[in-house]
Structure 1
Amino acid sequence: MYAILDIETTGGKFNEEGITEIAIYKFDGHTVVDQFISLVNPEREIQPFVVNLTGINSNMLRTAPKFYEVAKRIVEITEDCIIVAHNSEFDYRILRTEFSRLGFEFERKTLCTVELSKQLMPEQDSYSLGKLTRALGIPVSDRHRASGDALATVKLFKILLAKDLDKQIIQDAVKAEPKYKLSSNHKHIIDDLPSITGVYYLHDSYGKIIFIGKSKNIKNRVNQHFTSTTPKSKKMQSQIAAVTHEATGSELVALLKESAEIKRNKPSFNRSMRRNLFTHALYSFMDENGYINLKVDAADGRKKAITTFSNYQSGKQFLLNVIDKFNLCPKLVGLDTTKKACYKYAVKECEGACFQEEPSADYNGRVQNIIINNSFDQQDFILIDKGRSLDEHSVLLIENGVFQGLGYFNLNYQITNKKVLESIITPMDHTRDTLHIIQSYLRKNKHIKRMELTL
C-alpha cells in the first residue's frame, strides 16, 4: 500500500517552513482507496514567491486547521504505507519536522518518483513533474496545488509500476507489508483479487516472486493454483505469502508482459516458460518454374521466417485457411504430394499453378500479399487494443519490423507520431518469442486496430 502525497509550504529558511496545504491519496497499486486533502494554517508568514506560485495566501488559511488538528488523520492514512512523492526527500522532511514540533517521531518508508523516473525512463529531457506529465500525456489540473500535484503523481506512479519489468517496486512493497505471512488458508488472498485481465505474481514471505502468470480472470486462475493437488502446485502453495497483480485490459499486453517478466525475473516455478514458445515456422522459396512456394517446417533460427506457430498442426491449419482465402495451390504449399494436378484443380478452385497453367506473376502476387500481411518486415505501425479502463487504450509500437515496446494512452491524448509514442512506451526486447506472441494473437483476434506511423 502506498500513500502518495504532495505538500505546499510557506517557503523560507531550511527546517523553518510550515505546511500550507497537504494532499494524500492512499493507493493500492491499482486504485485510490482513501484520500485526505486539507489547507493547513502554518502559523507563520508565507513567502511572496510562494503566494504567486500556488495562489495560497494568509487570508485563505486563517480558519484552516493547524497541523496538530490534522496530524492524527495523517498518521492513520499513512500507517503501514510507503510514502510516495515527487522529490520525496523534501515532502518527508517537512512532515517529520512538523511532527517533531509536536514531540512525535514520524517514520515511514519512502519512494521518490523523480529517482524512479530517472531509472525507468532515462530518455526523458526533464524530470520535473510538469514536464514529465506533459511528455507522458498525463492530464493535470490545479498545478502547484497539493491535490492536483498529488493526483498527477498517482498517475505517474501507475506508469512507473507498469514500466518496472523487474518488478522491484512491488517486491519491495510486499516485503515491507506486515500483513503478509505464510498461511495454510489462502482465502483472504483470493478475496482481494479482481476478476480482470492481467498479469499476477506469486510472492514468498521475503517478497520474492516465485511464479508469474497471466489470465483473463485473475481471481479464478489464482484460485486454481491454490486448489490444485499436483506435486508442483502443493509445493508452490506451501511457499506463497502474497499475490499481487497488474491489470492490462488487453490479453495481448498480458501475454507480452508475462513472457518478458518471466525471462527477466526467472521465477523458480516458471522454468518451462523460459523456453521458446513455438516449434514451427512458415518459410517461402522460389521453385524452378518461378512460383513462390510456402512451407511450414521446424523452426530454424538460421532462416528468416515469415511467421511462427506453436506446433505443426497450427501451421497446417494456417496453410489450409490461406489456400481457401487466396485461392492457392495445395501442391505449392506442401500439402499435396501427388504427381498429378492438385485436388483443388479438379473442382476449379486452383488456377493451375501446379503445372504452370496460371501465370506465375498472378499467383506470386497473391502469395506476396500473404507474406506482407503476416510479416512485420521493415514496417512501421502501432497496434491499438483495450486499455485498463473505459477512457484508455493500450498501444504496441512496431518500428522497422521490430517490436519496440508497449504502453497506455488516454483517449483524450492524441497519438500522432513516433516522438510522442516514445514517451509513453515501456521499452521491451524484440525476440522471436515476442514476435510469435504478437503474430499468433493477430491471427486469432481480428479486432486489434492497426495504424501506420507518421514521422
Structure 2
Amino acid sequence: MEFVIVDIETTGGNPSQGGITEIAALVFNGNNIIERFHTLVNPERYIPNFITGLTGISQEMVEDAPKFEEIAEDLWNLLEGRTFVAHNVNFDYAFIREAFKAIGKELNLPKLCTVRLSRKAFPGLGSYGLGRICEQLAIEISHRHRAFGDAEATAILFQKIYQHQSDIIFQSLKKGKGEQFLPPHISQEKFQSLPEATGIYFFHDRHGQVIYVGKAANIKSRFKSHFSGNSEEKLALKSEIHDITWELTGSEFLAYLLEILEIKSLWPKFNRAQKYKSSQWALFQYEDSNGFIRFQVSKNNPKIQSIMEFDSHSEAWKFMMDKTTEFELCPKLTGIQKTPEACYDHQIGKCHGACCEKEKPALYNQRAKEFLACITNNKGAVLIKDKGRSTHENCALYFENGVFSAYGFISQEEYQNNNEEIVASLRIVKHIPETKYILRSFIPKIHQRNIIPI
C-alpha cells in the first residue's frame, strides 16, 4: 500500500472560490519516500496581503508559475490508486478535488488525516496543530507555511505513526468513508455518543469556548450535515471544533426558543444568521412636573419597564398617531409633535389644551388611563404544554405579552396541578423580544387544549 502525503498553500479558505498557489506531494511506500512532487501554481486570482505575509508567496512569485491544468496530469498520476494523507486532510483534499473538478476530473480517493491519527497515537497533547505537534515530537520543519516544508514534516509524522502504531492507520482505513466527514478533533466515539433526539447543541473550541449553538430534531443527524460541503465557513468550523455538548428538550418548540436565548447570551462566532443586536422600539410613560401623563416612543431599554414593544420605529409611530386621535390625547404629550409652545392640533381645535394649561391634568389623565387600559386588556399571559423528553413528562412554556418568559419540565402527576402552581415552579429566562416570532410560528401547530390563558 502506498500513501501520498500532501500539503498546499492557497489564496483563502474557500475551495470553490480560492486558488492553489503551491502543491507538494510525497509518495510513501511504508518504508521510504519514493517520489516527490513540488511546484508553485498560478492561482489565476489575487493573493491577499495577509496570505503573502503568512506563506511568503507573492503575486510576482506565481506570475510565471504553471496553472493547475498544466500540472494536473502529473499530479493525477501521482495520486491515482494511493491513499491521500494530509494534516487536516479535508482542507487540502477539498481544494485539489475542486481544482480537478474545474477541468472535468472527479477525484475520489481514500483519505487519512494526521491530526486524527496523532490524537490516537499521541493522546493527551495540548495541541495537534502541525507546528505544535512537530515541536513536541522533535520533528524539524524546514519552511513553515510552505507546502514542501509542511509536507516533509507531515511525512515524518505519518512515518512515525505507521512504523510504530500502524494498526491505528489500518483501523482508520477500514472504517472507510463513514468517519471521513468528522472534524479532525472529534472522535468516532464522540460522534456515536450523540443522541438521535430533539434538543439544542453547543460546539466548543480548544479552550471550551462556545463557537456555535444549534437546534435539531435529531442532534446526531444534524451534526453530520454541518460538515457536508466545502464552504469556507464549514471548513473553518470543522478545524475549530474540539467538542460538542447538548441539552435535550423533547419539544422542538422549546429547542427553537432555547437556541435563540443561548445565541443572545453567548454570541457564538459562527452563529451569523441570528448574531445581531435587537433594535426594537418601545412605548414608555411618565408623569411630568405638571401632573400630566406623558408617552414617549424610543429605543427599547430592558432596564426600563415599557408599556408596549414594536418591531420598528414606524410601527410605533403609527400606533401612537392612531391612539392619539382615538383617545383625543395631546400629540405634544404623546411625543408625536416636538414644539416648545402649544401643539399644532390645539391651534386647529383638535387638542383640548393640555399642552397649554387649557385642560386640567385630572380630566386629561382620565383619557390617558383609558388608553393604558386598552393596552393592558390586549395583553396577557399564556401557558403552553408540549411534549417532554420522555413519555412520562411534558414541558411547560410560559409567555407574557407574547414573549417567552419561563419554562420547565413537569411529570404526568404535576400536569394535573393548578396552572398557577406550574407557572410558579418554572425557570425564568431572559427577556428576548424576538421569541414572539417563534410563538407566532408554532401556535398553529399546538392543540388548542394545550394553550391555557393565565
- Shorter-chain TM-score bucket reads 0.3 to 0.5
Select the structure of larger CA radius of gyration. Answer: 2
TM-score by length of 2: 0.37
